[in-house]
């Protein structure tokens, strides 16, 4: 399951609707919703995200969060390390090869490292 799939499932649970009911209301198939929730489809389109936000009548902040989560929910990630130092490419390939065996604790620790390493937009250049 992707972060977006998890968020959408939680929204459906709160509203008390099935995938079939939601799909009919926003004009997609229940199979598509299921594939999104289970991480078998890529990131959803902007149009789809707008329909989901409208369907759940979410406030702007919650809609922004839903869009942010969708941006990080493509289950088939491609990392382009061209032009980067060799260590970056090696790290990306090692991560790709070992991602399935990493514990939740290790993932959280790596996320903390990435969060600390992120340079805010207003501090760049």
Q: What is the pLDDT of residues 28-82, one digit of tens each?
A: 999 999 998 888 887 888 999 999 999 999 888 888 888 988 888 877 788 899 9
pTM, rounded to two decimals:
0.66
Q: What is the mean pLDDT of residues 103-109?
A: 94
The domains found in the chain, sorted by start residue, are 3-71 (1.10.260.40), 86-123 (no CATH)
What would the two tokens of residue 114 be?
């990435």
* Residues 7 and 43: beta-carbon distance below 8 Å: no
Q: Is the pLDDT of residue 125 over 70?
A: no
Q: How confident is the model at residue 120 (pLDDT cuts 50, 70, 90)?
A: low
> Among residues of the chain, what percentage have pLDDT more than 90?
48
Distance between CA atoms of 38 and 104, rounded to whole angstroms?
A: 18
Residue 27: its pLDDT value, please?
Answer: 94
Q: Sign of the C-alpha dihedral, residues 44, 50, 54, 57?
A: positive
């Amino acid at each position: 399951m992707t972060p977006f799939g998890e968020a959408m499932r939680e929204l459906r649970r709160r509203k008390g609707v099935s995938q079939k009911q939601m799909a009919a209301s926003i004009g997609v198939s229940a199979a598509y919703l299921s594939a999104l929730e289970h991480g078998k489809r890529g990131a959803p389109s902007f149009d789809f995200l707008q329909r989901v936000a409208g369907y759940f009548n979410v406030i702007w902040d919650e809609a922004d969060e839903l869009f942010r989560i969708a941006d990080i929910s493509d289950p088939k990630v491609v990392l382009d390390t061209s032009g980067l130092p060799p260590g970056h490419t090696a790290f990306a390939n090692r991560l790709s090869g070992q991602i399935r065996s990493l514990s939740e604790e290790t993932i959280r620790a790596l996320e903390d490292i990435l969060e600390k390493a992120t340079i805010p937009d207003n501090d760049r250049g």
